[in-house]
Structure 1
Amino acid sequence: MNSGNRPKQRSTLRLNEPELTLLRRGDSPDPRLVELVRLLARRAAQEAFEEQTKELRTTRS
């Protein structure tokens, strides 16, 4: 086994570093959560709109 590759492999693994930090930095909200809330709100609004237009179509018929 070649021991010359071992330091390179250790630097790429980095098992001690977290992949995702949930700590807040500063007073501003997490931009990832803000984007998630916008996405969910947009989806809920779209579903509500489609349901309302569906109800209007059935009452007019």
Structure 2
Amino acid sequence: MDHGNRPKHRSTLRLVEPELTLVRRGDGPDPRMVELVRLLARRAARQVYEEQMKERRPPRS
């Protein structure tokens, strides 16, 4: 194949993607992690609450 006549588009077609950084910047906890922990805690609390409500229901006769 002759690639000499083909324009070089590879560098122009690259999309600028955000870089994933796991390095903390600044003091304190990462706000994304805090939000994730809150979400998981709410989910766990909801599941425990629902299980407790199932146990408290009197059996229907």
| Structure 2: unaligned runs, 5 residues or longer | 1-5
Shift of 1:21: 0.8
Counterpart-to-counterpart distance in 2, 1:6 and 1:53 = 60
Q: Looking at secondary structure, tell me which structure has more helix per residue.
A: 1
Determine the structure 2 residue equivalent to 1:52. 52
Q: Which residue of 2 aligns with 1:38?
A: 38
Tell me by how many angstroms 1:19 deviates.
Answer: 3.0
TM-score by length of 1: 0.69
1:2 alignment partner in structure 2 = 7
Secondary structure of 2:19's partner?
coil
Shift, 1:52, TM fit: 0.4
The structure having more radius of gyration, on CA atoms, is 2
- Residue 38 of structure 1 and its aligned partner are, at CA, apart by 0.8
1:27 aligned residue: 27
Percent of paired sites with the same residue: 63
How many residues align? The count is 54
TM-score relative to the length of structure 2: 0.69
Structure 1 vs Structure 2 CA RMSD: 2.3
Q: Runs of 4+ in structure 1 displaced over 2 angstroms?
A: none
In structure 1, list runs of 5 or more residues that go unmatched. none
